Amino acid sequence: MADINLTKYGITGTTEIVHNPSFDDLFKAETDPSLEGYEKGQVSELGAVNVMTGIYTGRSPKDKFIVMDENSKDTVWWTSDEYKNDNHPASKETWDVVKKIAQEELSNKKLYVVDAFCGTNADTRMAIRFIMEVAWQAHFVKNMFIQPTEEELKNFEPDFVVYNASKAKVENYKELGLNSETAVVFNITSREQVIINTWYGGEMKKGMFSMMNYYLPLKGVASMHCSANTDMNGENTAIFFGLSGTGKTTLSTDPKRLLIGDDEHGWDDNGIFNFEGGCYAKVINLDKESEPDIYKAIKRNALLENVTLDENGKIDFDDKSVTENTRVSYPIDHIDNIVRPVSAAPAAKEVIFLSADAFGVLPPVSILDPEQTQYYFLSGFTAKLAGTERGITEPTPTFSACFGQAFLELHPTKYAEELVKRMKKSGAKAYLVNTGWNGTGKRISIRDTRGIIDAILSGDILNAPTKKIPYFNFEVPTELPGVDPKILDPRDTYANVSEWEEKAKDLAGRFIKNFAKYEGNEAGKALVSAGPQK
Ligand SMILES: Nc1ncnc2c1ncn2[C@@H]1O[C@H](COP(=O)(O)OP(=O)(O)O)[C@@H](O)[C@H]1O
Ligand SMILES: C=C(OP(=O)(O)O)C(=O)O
Ligand SMILES: [Mn+2]
C-alpha cells in the first residue's frame, strides 16, 4: 500500500500508521490486553468483540454543527425558530479551533487510517479517509463502509476526511458557540468532519449519510433513510423508510429476499443503491427465532457495542443497564442472501414507511394514495425510541421529516420531490406500516409485521377487501394471509372504541399543527386535504 503522509492533514509526529488494516489485525489490536478504558474490546461467546462507548451510547444531535460559509449559507437547511432542526451553524473560526483540537489529539501517536467508499456507484460515491487513534473505531468503519478493491486502494484519493478525536474535549465550547465539550462538526466546503468527545460509532456512519443527503439531491439523485431488499431474481425492489428503531434492519433482513442494505440508499436512473458496505443492527432483546439472520451475523469480525457480557464472554441481550441502544455492526456479507457483487437493484416498486406509533392509533398497515404518500413522507410521524439519541429514555412521539430529519441537510421538500419523481417513473406504491403500539398496550409483533410486509411484497394486499379508517381516511385491508385479522383495524384492539377515537382526534390535531410549516406555498397547501381531518 502506498505510504501516506498525515502532515498534510496537520497531524504531526505520528509514530506509526496502520493503514487499511485487515480484520485479523484489528481483532488483535482491539483485544490487546494492554488496552485500557473504552479502547478495550472483549471477545464474546459468538466470536464478535464487544466494546463500550462510555457516556455517549447514542448520537448527540444537539452537538451537531455545520460550518456556515459562502458555500453553505444558502443551501443548507439551517435550524430556525419557525422550524427547529439539528443543523446548527458554526463559524469558520470555530471550525479552525475544533479542527486544531482534533489535529493535536491525533498528533504524536500511533494512528489508524481507513480508506473506504460511501455509495456503491463510481459517479456518486464519496471516497472517505477516516483518521483515528482507536483500533475498534477503525474496525467499525471497515464494517460499515464499502471496502475498495486492492486496485482502488492503490489510487485512493479521498474526497472527504474524517478526524475522530473521541478522546479530546472542547473546553471553551461556550465562547465558540458550541453546545458542550462534545462536538460533531462538518465542513461542507473543505469536505471534512471532526468528532470530539463521543465514542458512539453511529456518529461516523450517520455523519457521512448526512453528507450524502447534502450532495446527492443537488445532483438530482434521491438520498433516503431507508433499508432496501429485492426478490430472489433481483427484480421486485422494496424500500423501507423509518426512523431509528422502527424496523428497517429487522424487516429488510428477510430470508426470502436479497438484502441491498439496511439503512441508507440512493435512487438514481439505474435504480436503488446502497451507501454502505455493512449493517448496524439493534440487538436489545435480540431473539434468535424472530431475527435469525441478524443473530447469525454476530460472529468473528462483527463488532458489538455496549452489550453486557460476563467475564466468560457470555452475552445477555436483554440487559438494558448500559443503554437500550445496544448494537452490532457487521459487513453485509455476514448475511447470506444479499445482492452481489454490488448492493444495487432496479427502481423500487414498493415504498414502505415504517412508523412506530407510541399512541397506538395508526393501523398496522394503510394503503396510501399518491397525495397521502407525500403528506406522510413530509410529516414523518413516528416515535423516537429510547437510546439512539442522547436524552431520549422512552418512546417519544415526533414528526421527523422524511423519517430522518436529523440527517437532512436540505429542506424536506427537496427529498419529497426527488422521491415522488422516482416513484412516478417506476409506478411505485406506498404503504404506511405501524411497527409500534396498538390498543393492547404492547408493540405489534414482529410476526404480524412480517406477515404484512409479505402481503405488500407479494401484491396480496391489493386483492384484499378493505375499509376506510375515520379522521385519517386510510384504506386498510380487513384480512391478510398470515396476519391476525383482529389487529388490522386498530379500533378492534381497544376495549372501548371511544378510547381510540379520543387518541385519534388528538393525533389528527398534532398532524395538522405540524403540517402548518409546509403550507407556506401552493404545493404544501394542496397536500393538506390528504392529511388527517379533525
Ligand atoms: N413489529 C415490529 N417490527 C419491527 N421491529 C420490531 C417490532 N417489534 C419489535 N421490534 C424491535 O424493534 C427494533 C427495530 O430495530 P431495527 O430493525 O434495528 O430498526 P432500524 O433499523 O429502523 O433502526 C428491533 O429491536 C426489533 O426487535
Ligand atoms: C444508527 C442510527 O440509526 P438507525 O437505527 O436508523 O441505524 C442512529 O440514528 O444513530
Ligand atoms: Mn437499522
Could you read off the pLDDT of 115-173 as tens digits, one per residue?
Answer: 999 999 999 999 999 999 999 999 999 999 999 999 999 999 999 999 999 999 999 99
% of the chain exceeding 90 in pLDDT = 96
Residue 75 burial class via C-beta count within 10 angstroms: exposed 0-12, middle 13-18, buried 19 and up: middle
Q: Which atom of ligand 2 is nearest to the CA of 327?
A: 1
178-236 per-position pLDDT tens digit:
999 999 999 999 999 999 999 999 999 999 999 999 999 999 999 999 999 999 999 99
Report whether pLDDT(307) > 90: yes
| Pocket of ligand 1 from Cβ distances under 6 Å | 242, 244-251, 262, 281-282, 284, 435, 443-446, 449
% of the chain exceeding 70 in pLDDT = 100
Please pick, among 225, 422, 429, 491, the residue that the annotation labels catalytic: 225
253: left (phi over 0), alpha (psi -120 to 50) or beta: beta
CA of 283 to the centre of ligand 3 (A): 10
321-343 per-position pLDDT tens digit:
999 999 999 999 999 999 999 99
* 244 ligand 2 Cβ < 6 A: yes
> pLDDT grade, residue 4 (50/70/90)?
confident
Per the annotation, the verdict on 343 as an active-site residue is no
- The pocket of ion ligand 3, defined by CB under 5 A, consists of 248-249, 263
Amino acid code (one letter) for 529: S
Per the annotation, the verdict on 248 as an active-site residue is yes
Per the annotation, the verdict on 205 as an active-site residue is no
Report whether pLDDT(1) > 80: no
Bridge partners (DSSP) listed for residue 385: none
> CA angle, corner 295, sides to 292 and 300, nearest 5?
140
- pLDDT given for residue 21 in this prediction: 98
Q: Which atom of ligand 2 is nearest to the CA of 282?
A: 5
Amino acid code (one letter) for 413: T
Average pLDDT, the chain: 97
Please pick, among 44, 237, 244, 323, the residue that the annotation labels catalytic: 244
Q: Are 455 and 445 in contact (CB under 8 A)?
A: no
Ligand number with the minimum distance to the CA of 450:
1
Q: Which atom of ligand 1 is nearest to the CA of 291?
A: 27
- pLDDT given for residue 404 in this prediction: 97
* 280 ligand 2 Cβ < 6 A: yes
- DSSP secondary structure letter of residue 461: G
Give the mean model confidence (pLDDT) for residues 78-83.
Answer: 94
Residue with CA at minimum distance from ligand 1 atom 1? 446
Q: Which residue has the cell 451475523?
A: 297
Q: Are 471 and 534 in contact (CB under 8 A)?
A: yes
Amino acid code (one letter) for 11: I
- pLDDT given for residue 129 in this prediction: 98
CA of 251 to the centre of ligand 3 (A): 10
CA atoms within 13 A on the CB side of 212: 32
CA distance 136 to 455: 41
Which of 484, 473, 395 has the alpha carbon at shortest distance from 441? 395
C-alpha dist (Å) from residue 486 to 139, 353, 432, 435, 461: 46, 22, 18, 16, 16
Most informative mutation of 248, 276, 280 for ligand 2 (most atoms within 8 A of CB): 280
**Which grid coordinates belong to 138?**
477503525
Bridge partners (DSSP) listed for residue 25: none
Which residues are within 8 A (CB) of 68 and not within 5 positions of it... i.e. 6 or more apart? 76, 78, 89, 90, 91
CA of 245 to the centre of ligand 3 (A): 7
- Number of C-beta neighbours around residue 350 at 10 A: 19
CA of 164 to the centre of ligand 1 (A): 29
Please pick, among 72, 227, 237, 249, the residue that the annotation labels catalytic: 249
CA distance 279 to 68: 32
Strands annotated E in 133-179: 160-165
Per the annotation, the verdict on 244 as an active-site residue is yes
Residues annotated within a binding site: 59, 200, 206, 225, 242-250, 263, 291, 327, 443-444, 449
Report whether pLDDT(91) > 70: yes
Q: Which atom of ligand 2 is nearest to the CA of 58?
A: 10
Report whether pLDDT(280) > 50: yes
CA distance 28 to 96: 35
Report whether pLDDT(282) > 60: yes
C-alpha dist (Å) from residue 405 to 70, 143, 204, 244, 350: 24, 25, 17, 11, 22
CA distance 404 to 149: 31
Q: Output helix, strand, coil percentages for the chain, rounded to the nearest 5.
A: 30, 25, 45
**Which grid coordinates belong to 109?**
501517536
Please pick, among 139, 265, 282, 327, the residue that the annotation labels catalytic: 327
- DSSP secondary structure letter of residue 437: B
Residue with CA at minimum distance from ligand 1 atom 5? 247
Q: Which residue has the cell 468532519?
A: 193
Residues annotated within a binding site for Mn(2+): 206, 225, 263
* 324 ligand 2 Cβ < 6 A: no
Report whether pLDDT(465) > 70: yes
Q: Are 306 and 326 in contact (CB under 8 A)?
A: yes
Report whether pLDDT(36) > 90: yes
> pLDDT grade, residue 385 (50/70/90)?
confident
Which residues are within 8 A (CB) of 513 and not within 5 positions of it... i.e. 6 or more apart? none
Per the annotation, the verdict on 349 as an active-site residue is no
